[in-house]
Amino acid sequence: MARIKYRDADVDLMARMMRAEAEGEGKQGMLYVGNVIVNRVKVDCSDFKNVNTVRQVIFQVQGGNFSFEAVQKGNMFYQRARDVERRLARRNLEFWRQHPAKFALWYFNPFGPCPPSWYNQPFSGQFKNHCYYEPAAGSCESVYTGA
């Protein structure tokens, strides 16, 4: 059973985002970004209340800006998804989740070392240039449950 409900259009959209945000970090880096997208769909807490689909996650606006920089800047996000990214997106949607993004709801690419917390969310780990952050204890328990 899939981790979340999805359609083919969601696979394509998610694949484009994974590529745009982490192509330089290879397949593993793209899978971690996909983990964060699926985790945001799964939870109903923190910044992600009533955000229930891949499309809503990717086009979510917070603080007057899109949550994902790739949507704002255009770059590769507006190019067609390739088969390799579609396969990776399906893996995330169906079953794949691993540390450091296994429970992460946020990530970013700092200019220096990863800070120990980001907006009061604890650091869960780093992969290449991206730092991943899980919800603070007791703030979003639903990310830790289920597939």
| pLDDT tens-digit map of 20-64 | 999 999 999 999 999 999 999 999 998 999 999 999 999 999 989
| CATH superfamily of domain region 8-145 | Cell wall hydrolase SleB, domain 1 (1.10.10.2520)
Residue 109 in 3-state DSSP?
coil
As a whole number, mean pLDDT of residues 137-141 equals 90
| pLDDT tens-digit map of 65-91 | 999 989 988 777 889 999 999 999 999
CB 36 within 8 A of CB 4: no
d(CA 8, CA 130): 27
Buried b (16+ CB within 10 A) or exposed e, 3-40: bbebeeebbbbbbbbbbbbbbebeeebbbbbbbbbbbb
146 has a pLDDT exceeding 70: no
